[in-house]
Each structure stands twice: as C-alpha cells, then as structure tokens.
A and B are shown apart, each in its own frame.
Chain A
Amino acid sequence: MAKSFLEDKEICIVAYGETKIVRRGGRSAYEIAAEVAEQLYKKTKLGPSDIDGVTFTVPISECSNPFWSGYATEYLGISAKWLQTSDIGGASAIGNVTRAAMAIKSGLCETAMILGVDAPSTQWRAYYGSYRNEFWDPVGVQGPPGAFGLLMNRYEHQYELDFRGLGALAVAQRNGAIKNPNAYEKLRHKITIDDYINSRQISSPLRLLDSVMWADGGNGLVMMKTSRAKKLGLTNRVYPISYAEISNFDCANQTPDITATGHSVVGPKVLRDAKMKAKDIDMFHPYDDFLFAVMLKAEQCGFAKKGQGSQFLRDTDLGPKGTLPINTGGGQISCGQPGLAGGGINLTEAVRQLMGEGKGRQVPNARNAMVTGIGVIPYGRNWGSANAMVLVN
C-alpha cells in the first residue's frame, strides 16, 4: 500500500449535512437520518436511487438492533451495494470516511453516504459486556468522567496542569457554539474561565464544564470519486489526504504510562503522510468528550510540547481568527453530543470550514484541517480507539 492511499485526491467529499442538536427530542435515529439525507440530496441534486454505499456509526439508541444498517437504509429507500456500521464510537466518523474511500476506490460502490445519527437522550439502549459487569460497575466508577478523573489526576502528578488553560478552551469552544445555530440552544450563552473553574466537581479533578452532555442529532457527508464529482458539477470539494487509526494502543502492557495515547502514533503519522508539520495545520477539530482529551491530543499530535498542553491552550488564541482555531463550531462540549454520532460534529465543522461556509465563525483562508476521533474508554487507560485525518480543499 502506498504511504497514504488518499494522497492523490482521487476521492472527495462533496456535501455535508447536519441537524440541530436537541435534548430528548423524541425523534428516532431513523427520523434524524431522513433529515440529514434530505439536506445531502438537496446540496448534491442526487436522490436515494443515486446512493449505492452507506456507512453508519452504530447509534446508542439502536445498538440492540442487530440489523441496524439494513433497517436504516430500507427506511431511507436506498438500495445499497455496500453497507458498513462501525462501532469505534467517536472515531467512527473519520474512520467511515476512510472506509468509504476504500469501498469507492475498490469499485464496491460509486456514491457513498456517511451517516452518524443517534438519539440517546430519547432512547438509551447501551449494554457493555467484557469486564464491565464484574470489575467496573460494582466499583462505583462514574463512567467516562471517572476514568478521566483518574487520567487527569495522574497527568497532574507527572506534569503541570493549569486548569485555566482548560477553561480557556471551554470559553473558545463556547464562543463557537454561540455562533453555531445547530448547537443545543441551552448551551448558546457566554461562559468565562471562572465559570469553568467554579463548575461543580463530578469526578475530581474533572468538572461539569469539562464534559459533554448527551443529546440527539445527526450529521452526514456524500463522497465519490473526484472525476465523478467534476462530471456532476459538484465544485465545492474537500479531500481527505491522510488517515491513521489505532485501537488498544500498547494494550498488553499492564503498567503503561496512562497519559500516553494512540494519538502519539496516529497524529504524527497523518502529518508525515500529508507532508506537513503541525504548524502547517490551519485548524484543529479534535474529538472532544472532555476538554482534557483535546489538551492531550494537542500535545501528542504535535501542536504543544509534552506536558505543556494546558499552558499552550491558555496562551494560544483558539478562536477562528487565532493562531490555532480549535472546534470552531463549539465541538461536542458546547453543541451537545448526539450520541455516537458525536464524532461527526468535529468532522462536519472541518468540512464546512473547508467549503468556506463557516459564516460568522469562518476561519480565513482555511486550506486544511486536522480532525481526530476517540472511541471507547478502556480499563484504567485513556481511550481505546484513536484516529486522525488531514483534509484539504
């Protein structure tokens, strides 16, 4: 395989769609998918009969359904030659862009829809097996916030953690959500660094404003060969040019440094494959379940020095016109996390910006973006799946 099978720009994204994020909206994942698909048809002048490949992120609200892809595409009226539901959580969005690119490149399908739709605040259907029943739930760990509390405390023991840096990130992302009409309405108000510092402790040192809130919503993309997009007159194109993914980084090691994540591998790799350095990246759209994850990724993808992520966030202008714009639409932390479709929030914003449609929050002359994903919280570590992608316009 070539260094990056994406680097020739043979495959492109031609449209994005996104619903508003709501809490307990009552709509199912299917109904949300219909809205995203309609937006995509409108932008591409295509219809259900033109789509022959579909990827999904497994929705929490449908994850007890063993035939989700079939039901969902039947609902949409799509006869598909290739279906894939990915279950690498928030890593699924850019993971699915790559999987769709592979399917298109290999001729399995021609026009792919990449969908993330979920309604966990309306219908929660998650069940976790493996060690959870015996070695996690009876311990009383407060889920992902508990795992991140352990991670943050260890980091603070090894390095310096300036919470005002995390607060600066909270404020920057919130400013993005205020300018993003798709963000959950109740989060579209200003906050200050002090609001972050004073927000209540959940699993200390992790606070409420470190964290995402479950919500309902969806997002999607249409992808095809660049040659086909040109024939169809689809002129606003975004190209994924490098991608890397790792699940269960260093997992046989029973006493790892838990502050080292898979992004220390995939971040540098996607930059190398894109023939770029971190300073060449115009904007960073990292998956944000917790602010601290963004901070660690800023270090491990090469934007900040090791152990100095919080100082970097504190001292850098993270807004759309700043030195390193981060999650300019608010990210999931300030938009709400539409279940496992959440990874698409970061990706959709990157694509929107690269298409020049950021409106009041447009990053001037944005030519490229790095997007990252995170999936699943493993036992006593950081995160299970880590991936990264560089996109250009």
Chain B
Amino acid sequence: MADTNVKPRPLPKPTPATQAFWDGAKKGKLMLQWDPTTKKYQFWPRANSVRTGKRNLQWKATSGKGELYSFTITHVPTPGFEARAPYVIGMIELDEGVRIIANLINIKIDDVEIGMRMKVAWEKLSDDITYFAFEPNKRAKSKPKK
C-alpha cells in the first residue's frame, strides 16, 4: 500500500453528459440533474433519468446545502491525498434529495457528527476542474437526532 511514487490527485475527464456539472463547478455552482417527469433530482450525472429512462434531464443550480448522512476517516490515503491523511470522506444528503460523497474540509475530525448541516465548498484542481468538497454550515442548526 505504501507507494513511494507520489501520484497526483486524479482529475475528472468530463463527457458530454457531465460537462454542465463541471462548467457549474468552475463558477462555484453545484449543478444537479432534474427529472421534469417526476420532478425529482438525481446524482451522479448521466445521460438518462434513473426513474423514467428518458434523456430529458434538465440542469439546475442548487443550494449546495444538506446534512451529513455518514462519514469515514481515511487513514490509508489514495493517490494525491497523502498530505491530507487522515482525512474525512462524507456522504451528504442534499436538501434536494440526493446524496453526494465528498471530502469534508475546514473541520476537525473530532467535530464531525452524523446529522450536522453542511454546505458545498470548492477546491481548484486545474484550470478546467474545480472540485466539490463540503464544510460545516455553521449558520444552520442541526436537525434534532432521530
């Protein structure tokens, strides 16, 4: 597992179906695909609605806010994350009703708690790619624990 050759963090290669997501990210907007038939969002981006099979999805800029559904602390880093380890990977349930897996930044490991409010944050990886991460949304109150 210990690799002496330090590899860079992998860069996404957008496709026609995902380009709008990355165009939004570059402007600091979290774009999600919205299904006009069921009036629901879905994630991750792809060519078709997972509910109807139609290729009629629309892109909408979203709030980028949600609640932490789960998290894991990564002790064995993947390529490009060596300097960050240990780091937190979170699964965030966005207010739009989808879940997204992302790095949690600007938070101490001991302060991470399921149910806490989160908001999107951005990390510039290259001229073309700005990547999503999440950070605590300190202005929001957490929902009471179930």
Residues of A within 8 A of B (CB): 131, 133-143, 145-146, 149-154, 157, 200-206, 251-252, 254-255, 258, 379-380
Contacts and interface: CB of A to CB of B under 8 A. Distances in A.
Given A140-B80, A140-B89, A254-B43, A204 B14 contact: no
Given A254-B97, A255-B97, A258-B70, A138 B125 contact: yes
A230 B125 CA distance: 66
Contacts of B42: 254
Interface residues on B, range: 35 or more
Contact of A146 (B11, B43, B69, B89): B89
A152 B91 CA distance: 12
Interface stretch (B55-63, B71-79, B136-144): B71-79
Residue in B75, B81, B99 whose Cβ sees the most chain A Cβ within 10 Å: B75
Nearest to A248: B50
A140 B72 contact: no
A131 B72 contact: no
Contact of B13 (A134, A149, A153, A254): A134
Interface string B66-96: 0001111111111011001001010101000
A137 B78 CA distance: 8
B97 A141 contact: no
Contacts of B41: 254
Contacts of A152: 72
Contacts of B103: 139-140
Contacts of A150: 70-72, 89, 91, 101
Given A153-B72, A154-B70, A200-B75, A380 B97 contact: no
Contacts of B131: 138
A140 B84 contact: yes
B101 A380 contact: yes
A206 B86 CA distance: 14
Interface string B113-141: 01000000000010000010000000000
Given A138-B10, A140-B103, A150-B91, 13 more contacts: A138-B9, A138-B12, A138-B131, A139-B102, A139-B103, A140-B77, A141-B89, A142-B76, A150-B72, A150-B89, A154-B114, A201-B75, A204-B73
A135 B89 contact: no
B114 A142 contact: no
A121 B69 CA distance: 35
Nearest to B145: A157
A134 B44 contact: yes
A133 B72 contact: no
A142 B87 CA distance: 11
Given A149-B72, A200-B75, A251 B50 contact: yes
Contacts of B93: 255
Contact of A380 (B12, B51, B91): B91
A309 B89 CA distance: 25
A278 to B, nearest CB: 28
Nearest to B131: A138
Contact of A204 (B13, B75, B81, B99): B75
Contact of A154 (B44, B69, B73, B76): B69
B98 interface: yes
Contacts of A136: 101
Residue in A143, A149, A206 whose Cβ sees the most chain B Cβ within 10 Å: A149
B40 interface: yes
Contacts of B87: 140
Contacts of A200: 75
Nearest to A256: B99
A380 B90 CA distance: 10
Contact of B74 (A135, A142, A252): A142
Given A134-B13, A138-B9, A157 B74 contact: no
Contact of A133 (B13, B78, B81): B13
Contact of B51 (A151, A201, A252): A252
A203 B98 contact: no
Contacts of B78: 137, 140-143
Nearest to B84: A140
A157 B84 CA distance: 26
Contact of B99 (A138, A141, A255): A255
